[in-house]
Amino acid sequence: MAEKQGDLQIGEVAQRTGVTQRTLRFYEEKGLLRPPSRMDGGFRLYSEEDVKRVQHIRRLQDLLGVSLADIKEMVDADEVLRELRSQYRPESAITEKRKQLQKATDVTKAQFAIVKQKTEQMREMETQLEERLKLFARWKQELDELEKKAAPSRG
Partner DNA sequence: TCCAACCTTGACGTTGGCGTAAGGTGTACC
Partner DNA sequence: GGTACACCTTACGCCAACGTCAAGGTTGGA
Q: Are 27 and 17 in contact (CB under 8 A)?
A: no
Can residue 140 be called a binding residue for a copy of itself (CB under 8 A)?
yes
Q: Is 143 in the site for a copy of itself (CB under 8 A)?
A: yes
11-19, 33-41, 44-52, 96-104 -> range binding a copy of itself (CB under 8 A): 96-104
Identify what 93 binds: a copy of itself, DNA, none; CB under 5 to 8 Å per kind: none
Contact at 8 Å (CB) between 39 and 45?
Answer: yes
Q: Does 123 bind a copy of itself (CB under 8 A)?
A: yes
Q: Which does 89 bind (CB under 5 to 8 A by kind): a copy of itself, DNA, none?
A: none
How would you label 3-35 residue by residue, b for 16+ Cβ within 10 Å and e otherwise? eeeebbebeebbeebebeeebbeebbeeebbee
Rounded-to-integer distance, Cα 57 and Cα 31, Å: 12
122 touches a copy of itself by CB under 8 A: yes
> Using the rule CB under 8 A, is 109 a contact of a copy of itself?
yes
Three-state secondary structure call for residue 13? helix
Footprint on residues 29-68 left by a copy of itself (CB under 8 A): 59, 62-63, 65
Residues 6+ apart with CB under 8 A from 123: none
Q: What gap in Å lies between CA 1 and CA 4, rounded to an integer? A: 8
Which residues sit at the interface with a copy of itself, rule CB under 8 A? 59, 62-63, 65, 81, 84, 91, 94, 97-98, 101, 104-105, 108-109, 111-112, 115-116, 118-119, 121-123, 125-126, 129-130, 132-133, 136, 139-140, 143, 146-147, 150
